[in-house]
Amino acid sequence: MTSTHAIAPARADHLDAVAALLAAAALPTGGVAAQFPHDYVVATRDGAVVGAAGLEIHGDAGVLRSVVVDPGERGRGLGQALSADRVAAARARGLAAVYLLTTTAADFYLRLGFAPCARADVPAAVAGSIEFASVCPASAACLRLDLREAPADPLRPFGEVPVSQTGGSDD
């Protein structure tokens, strides 16, 4: 059977599935419910939630958080597509930059065009967000994507990201 992946705005009834994905990946869930569903998108496979990503807005900056893909669905481009969707939303809102903290995926975001950023250089509004102020450890890597600069490589970060439509046990 051929399965179909989609990236779509989150709905309120997706919250439990997203929280379960985050918990299974040992990602923080603090503050997610307060921002859900309006700041989130989900990846679905045949209607089931298999991934998520959130973009919180703080002043003229965004915080990309809660990017997660079900382990059985990884490696098909969903993580990049979810991240690209949230960066596109940040561009559409006219934000200056997107920040993130990660203990697990710094190399994933460096490959997508983010650059290391000293935590001391993060805008105050972002530093005061729940992700930065309380839920992520101080040892987490801080990364920044400047949206006021043209992408260094237009073929690479955050253009159209193909998502494999096949794979998994029921294909």
Point out which residues bind ligand COA (CB under 6 A): 25, 27, 67-69, 74-80, 102, 104-105, 107-108
CB of 43 to ligand COA, least distance (A): 8
* Residue listed under structure tokens 């965004």: 62
Q: How far is CA 103 from the centre of its chain?
A: 14
The closest residue (CB) to ligand COA is 79
Rg of the chain taking only CA atoms, in angstroms: 15
Nearest to 68 by CA among 121, 5, 26: 26
Do 102 and 141 touch, CB atoms closer than 8 A?
yes
Question: Which CB atom, from 43 or from 147, has the smaller least distance to ligand COA?
Answer: 43
Question: Which CB atom, from 43 or from 95, has the smaller least distance to ligand COA?
Answer: 43
Question: Which CB atom, from 63 or from 147, has the smaller least distance to ligand COA?
Answer: 63
CB of 67 to ligand COA, least distance (A): 4
3-state secondary structure of 49: strand
CB of 74 to ligand COA, least distance (A): 3
